[in-house]
Amino acid sequence: MTAKENQFYLGNSKLPTPDSIYDYSANPEWVIDIDKCRKNILYFAENFFYIVNLDKGKMKIGLHGYQKRILRTLRDSRFVIMLSSRQSGKTTLMTIYALWIACFFEDQRILIVANKETTAKNIFKRVRLAYEQLPNYLKPGTVEYGITSMTLGNGSSIGISTTSSDAGRGDSCNVLILDELAFIDNGMAMDFWKSVYPIISSSKKSKIFIASTPNGTGNLFHDLYSGATKNENGWVHERVDWWEVPGRDDDWKNKTIKSLGSKEFFDQEFGNHFVQNGESAVNESLYEKLKAEVREPAFVFDDGHYLLWDTPKTDRIYVAGVDISEGVGEDASVIQIFDITDLRNIEQVAIYHNRTINPVQFTSKCLEIFQHWGSLHACIERNNCGGQVVDQLRSAHNYENLVTYGPKIAGSVYNRLGILSHTNTKYKGVMNMRYFLNEMNAVKIHDKQTLLELKTFIRYPNGTWAAAAGSDVHDDRVMSLVWALIVLESEVVDRYFEVTEHDDSRRPLKLKLLDYGLRSVVDPTKFMVNIKDGSSDAPLPIIINPGGYNDIDEVSMLTEQGWTFMNK
């Protein structure tokens, strides 16, 4: 090469400009390489494509069998959709194909679209790295070189975008590469598809390559892939299963399931399993089994809001899950109490459910019920008005046993009191609940309404879980159950309990509550009236001078319990 310094883009020796001069007569093998690369994408990849290995650093890629198969499919087909196990190298395939097209074919516009800006930039970062590692004589030369796009001397360009309704609209595009289409909001994905597909399909040569792990049914990715497998839409389908990746065998699978804590997690992330949208949190057989445990409560307090199937005991470990509403008669504020002493037999012992109690009154109610069950660990969702309840319990009542859990943001640990219901924490919470319900068969539900809510708690196309659509269909009891069991999630449990035994999936099996011996219970059956039969072991309260009584909280408490003051 006889290029001078000014023949490099911004002085970077790895970025020759289109004006760079090469002596091909002295290096005839260069001409052979260029010709072979243009004709054979596998030759290009295996001889000139570099990746960064976490253990070995920069290294030339060695293609696996399934990667060669897919690259050939991309070369020979216009519309390709790939279902892929996690960490199988699909991003590498995108990078190889985009760079091959850009370097060896003139006037090609390649657009890489991802569901998140950071993801798109990371993909393009790999493209840039691979481009810079190519021998300069293979490169068409650099015209523009940025963090979101590059333009080459042969007229080809590579750019990135995130999915939006107007992405790509009005622009020509020869190759469209879509990453993780299944994880793009379905409404946005459909708008995007309507925007860009007519541009691609109007050409007889333009191509689309879609690659994603599964994320339920009823979304654009699932519809396209299912149609391709049935030969209904003209797409060519590819599939990469976990066992095709070298180093993955049954032993790897079993260890991964243990690490993830759930076979359902494995099926979703590595097993290419499309979890059925609209499926209930419990299947029919489990629902029938759970129905056998439903029974009438032994005690009904507080005008029917507070139900007990057992009385508090000092030698048991209890946990509360709390979901909070505004108290305007629609959604309910709920407290679920579970006995988690034996994690093979997690039992619902009490529930409080009220649609009209406001957050201020509910704070007092939480404190009262928590004390009944030994000042237990309380998992309270702090979203919306829940933050008011959590903060008042700590600041005004000095209640210490509040469980804290939330998403890590920019690597920092979430440290606000309570449970923040975020996309990730809710998903983990639901999967954790389903593990103990479905896989361990360890949870006994006695409340009929809780079980009915579980039946109508379904998975939506975007992967979220919520109550099925319909009038008077709620999930307050289910979410309070989710939050009660979140304390058993692997990221949480060690902070509040000593785990003395784990199951085969590394989930807690036996707990020892730290400093549990310092706790005591307050049995509500000793001072509250059981409205089932009007019975109570409580002595009559003695009021010497009700007219001058100043403790409004106690008067309110007695009033709520059904007592009235006699006037002289």
Q: State the DSSP string of 465-498.
A: EEEPSSTT---HHHHHHHHHHGGGSTTTHHHHEE
Q: Residues near 26 by Cβ (< 8 Å), separated by ≥ 6?
A: none
Q: Is the dihedral of CA 496, 501, 502, 508 positive or negative?
A: negative
Q: Is the predicted pLDDT of residue 33 greater than 90, yes or no?
A: yes
Q: Is the predicted pLDDT of residue 83 greater than 60, yes or no?
A: yes
What would the pLDDT profile of 370-404 be if each residue is shown by its tens digit?
999 999 999 999 998 899 999 999 999 999 999 99
In this structure, whether the domain defined by 299-447+475-525 belongs to CATH 3.30.420.240 is answered with yes
* Beta-sheet pairing, 236-240 with 79-84: parallel
Q: To the nearest whole percent, how much of the chain has pLDDT over 90?
A: 49
Predicted local confidence at residue 568, as pLDDT: 42
Amino acid at 547: G
- DSSP 3-state assignment of 177? strand
Predicted local confidence at residue 546, as pLDDT: 46
Q: Is the predicted pLDDT of residue 552 greater than 70, yes or no?
A: no
What would the pLDDT profile of 144-182 be if each residue is shown by its tens digit?
999 899 999 999 999 998 765 455 554 678 899 998 888
CA distance 405 to 425: 8
Q: Residues near 95 by Cβ (< 8 Å), separated by ≥ 6?
A: 123, 126, 127, 130
CA distance 144 to 254: 48
CA distance 272 to 254: 16
Specify the higher pLDDT residue, 180 or 278.
Answer: 180
Name 94's bridge partners: none
What would the pLDDT profile of 309-341 be if each residue is shown by its tens digit?
999 999 899 999 999 998 887 889 999 999 999
CATH topology of domain 5-240: Rossmann fold (3.40.50)
Q: Yes or no: say if 173 and 200 are a contact pair by the CB < 8 Å rule.
A: yes
With cut-offs at 50, 70 and 90, classify the pLDDT of residue 276: low
Predicted local confidence at residue 408, as pLDDT: 72
On average, the pLDDT of the chain sits at 85
Residue 509 burial (CB count, 10 A): 17
Predicted local confidence at residue 120, as pLDDT: 87
CB < 8 Å & 24+ apart, contacts of 326-331: 326/358, 326/359, 326/384, 326/385, 327/354, 327/355, 327/356, 327/357, 327/358, 327/359, 327/361, 327/362, 328/356, 329/355, 329/356, 330/355, 331/355, 331/474, 331/476
Q: What is the pTM of this model?
A: 0.60
Q: Is the predicted pLDDT of residue 464 greater than 50, yes or no?
A: yes
Q: Cα–Cα–Cα angle for 57, 59, 60, nearest 5°?
A: 165
Domains of the chain: which residue ranges? 5-240, 299-447+475-525, 539-568
Predicted local confidence at residue 454, as pLDDT: 93
Cα-based torsion angle of the residue sequence 530, 536, 537, 540 in order, rounded to the nearest 10 degrees = 130
In angstroms, the Cα distances linking 165 to 110, 301, 335, 369, 388 are 19, 54, 42, 50, 38
CA distance 528 to 515: 29
Q: Yes or no: say if 528 and 536 are a contact pair by the CB < 8 Å rule.
A: yes
